[in-house]
Amino acid sequence: MLIFSIETSCDETASAILKFKSDSSFEVLANQISSQIKLHAKWGGIVPNLAAREHSKNILPVIKTTFKEANLKPKDIDIFGVTAGPGLIPALLIGANVTKTIAYFHQKPLIKINHIEGHIYSNFINKNNKGNLNQYNFPILNLVISGGHTQLILMKNHLKYKIIGETQDDAVGEAFDKVAKMLGFEYPGGPIISKLANEAENLIKKSQINSKFLKIKFPRPMINSDNLNFSFSGLKTSVLYFYQKLLEKKITESELILWKKFIAKAFQDAVIDVLKNKTLKTIKIHQPKTVLLSGGVSANNKILEILEKELKTKHPEIIFNSPRKSLCGDNAVMIGIAGIAHYLYSKNNPTFQINWKNLEADSGLKLKDLN
Ligand code: KG4
Ligand code: ZN
């Protein structure tokens, strides 16, 4: 069977084609992404109407290239899948309407996918572009860290999502983006903050650093709270106050660059401590057999390194995985895999929405709305 999928919830226009079998194995035949990052960078964040304009400009060329890559035609596709939410409504509408139209024209089933479950399912693909939906044991604990979400989601089975913890304010990626903006960098801020933090670590290794740079420490909000929720807005504000005070002093340009590296490291360390503690706490309570990291922020090397190390030493019995770098951010392969899971595991469910008439883009789509 062949599934064609589309993702347009934010600033990437993406489509993919996957081939799958009833034994839950699958393979990627085509994967195309057109990114708008450069366009939004100068605005300091995503501008929804600009995103929609770009999606409508890019979507047909992206679809055309996807079919060319797979050497297939739309009539060859058995099922269509599209991100229906959450995300920016003007952006979601483009992908939803284009996919609806193709599915209607070819009279084929259309599956509604939640963007977050897409991120979760990005973990099911292996290095050889193949995967199997049965490769992990349940319960699976998902730590989803993206620009819009920070959630701990427990899955007792495929498509059975229970949100057991989430941010009360900013998402992790949003905090990275805001801190980068404060320090004078463009959107998206995650990659630049992690690069600066790495540079700070390298300087520490060379031990050529004045101890004043090592004293920066930011708060770890809610780290010891008795629930599994997060908060990152206070941390971001602490960085702002620290930086504003620093600017009041007379410091040279080269010293300021150094300060920025150590601020980035101190901020990232605080984020990692919180993510690590909450994940360990969740493991203690819910005893998952598998832990999967996902979302755009999972591209952060240091977060991955620390979580991996922590789990290996404290819970060697747990399988830990994170998506390969190119699938950490938004893409349509993850939407295709989630679509396969819906097709194989919930097609007998009477509420399973498989008709284009039932599909509406919904900026606030909840995981529980799917089952
Ligand atoms: O999943 P994603 O592509 O879009 C959403 O669904 O939100 O995540 C984008 C987020 C942005 O906030 C971006 O700054 C962050 O992922 N990000 C990173 C890194 N790479 C991307 N954050 C920290 N470190 C990174 N290396
Ligand atoms: Zn995303």
Same domain flag for 309 and 195: yes
Per the structure, the count of domains in the chain is 2
CA 299 to ligand 1 centroid distance, Å: 7
Span 260-301, pLDDT tens digits: 999 999 999 999 999 999 999 999 999 999 999 999 999 999
Average pLDDT on 93-109 reads 95
In a domain, 157, yes or no: yes
- Say which DSSP state 188 is in: P
CA–CA dist 335, 316 (Å, integer): 30
Q: In the predicted model, what is the mean pLDDT of residues 185-189? A: 93
pLDDT at 39: 83
Residue 230 DSSP code: B
273 and 149, same domain (yes or no): yes
pLDDT above 70 (res 349): no
3-state secondary structure at position 353: coil
- Going from the C-alpha of 169 to that of each of 12, 108, 176, 266, the distances in angstroms are 24, 40, 13, 20
Same domain, 161 and 283: yes
Tell me if 332 sits within 8 A of 33, measured CB to CB.
yes
- For residue 164, give the nearest of 228, 86, 225 by alpha carbon: 228
Distance between CA atoms of residues 294 and 322, nearest Å: 6
Please tell me the distance from the alpha carbon of residue 320 to that of residue 330, in angstroms, as a whole number: 21
Q: Is residue 108 part of a domain?
A: yes
Question: Does the beta carbon of 11 lie inside 6 Å of ligand 1?
Answer: no
Question: Does position 244 have pLDDT exceeding 60, yes or no?
Answer: yes
Residues 185 and 242 in one domain: yes
CATH of the domain at 313: 3.30.420.40
- Candidates 50, 58, 32, 10; CA nearest to 188 is 10
pLDDT digits (tens, 9 = 90+) for 126-182: 989 999 999 999 999 999 999 999 999 999 999 999 999 999 999 999 999 999 999
Summarised one tens digit per residue, pLDDT across range 46-85 is 888 888 999 999 999 999 999 999 999 999 999 999 999 9
The amino acid at 215: K
In the predicted structure, residue 43 carries a pLDDT above the cut 70: yes
**Do 101 and 16 fall into the same domain?**
yes
What's the pLDDT score for residue 274?
98
- 106 within a domain of the structure (yes/no): yes
At 37 the pLDDT is: 83
Same domain, 160 and 111: no
> 180 and 295: one domain?
yes
Q: 222 CA distance to ligand 2 centroid (A)?
A: 24
Residues 314-347 have pLDDT tens digits of 999 999 999 999 999 999 999 999 999 999 998 6
- For residue 351, how many other CB atoms are within 10 A of its CB? 9
Assess if residue 235 is contained within a domain: yes
The C-alpha atoms of residue 73 and residue 332 are separated, in whole angstroms, by 18
Testing ligand 1's pocket by substitution, the residue of 13, 83, 146 carrying the most ligand atoms inside 8 A of its CB is: 146
Predicted local distance difference test score (pLDDT) of residue 208: 74
Residue 351 scores a pLDDT above 60: no
pLDDT at 215 over 90: yes
Compute, in angstroms, the gap from residue 122 CA to the centroid of ligand 1: 15
Do 297 and 341 fall within a single domain?
no
- Do the domain assignments include residue 131? no
For residue 155, list its beta bridge partners.
140, 161
- Is the pLDDT score of 185 beyond 90? yes
**3-state SS assignment for residue 316:** coil
- Domain assignment present for residue 368? The answer is no
Q: Which domain holds residue 251?
A: 142-322
Domain match, 209 and 307 both:
yes
Task: Please give the number of the atom of ligand 1 that sits closest to the Cα of 180.
Answer: 14
With contact defined as beta carbons under 8 Å apart, do 110 and 100 qualify?
yes
Same domain, 249 and 336: no
Secondary structure of residue 297 in the 3-state scheme: helix
- The pLDDT confidence band at residue 354, using thresholds 50, 70 and 90, is low
Q: Do 109 and 211 belong to one domain? A: no
Residue 40 has what pLDDT?
82
CA neighbor of 268 nearest in space, from 295, 305, 293, 241 = 305
pLDDT-based confidence at 44, cuts 50/70/90?
confident
Task: Mark whether 56 and 94 lie in a shared domain.
Answer: yes
Going by pLDDT thresholds of 50, 70 and 90, the confidence category of residue 370 is: low
146 lines ligand 1 (CB under 6 A): yes
Q: How far is CA 270 from CA 40, 133, 194, 196, 224, in A?
A: 28, 34, 13, 15, 13
Amino acid letter, residue 236: K
Q: Is residue 240 situated within a structural domain?
A: yes
Residue of 122, 269, 297 to mutate, ligand 1, most atoms within 8 A of C-beta: 297
Ranges assigned E (strand) in the chain: 2-7, 12-20, 25-35, 79-85, 110-114, 130-132, 140-145, 150-157, 160-166, 290-294, 319-321
What separation in Å is there between the alpha carbon of 145 and the centre of ligand 1? 8
pLDDT higher than 70, residue 352: no
Report which ligand 1 atom has the smallest distance to the Cα of 119: 1
pLDDT band (50, 70, 90) for residue 348: low
The answer as to whether 173 is a domain residue is: yes
Whole-number average pLDDT of the chain: 94
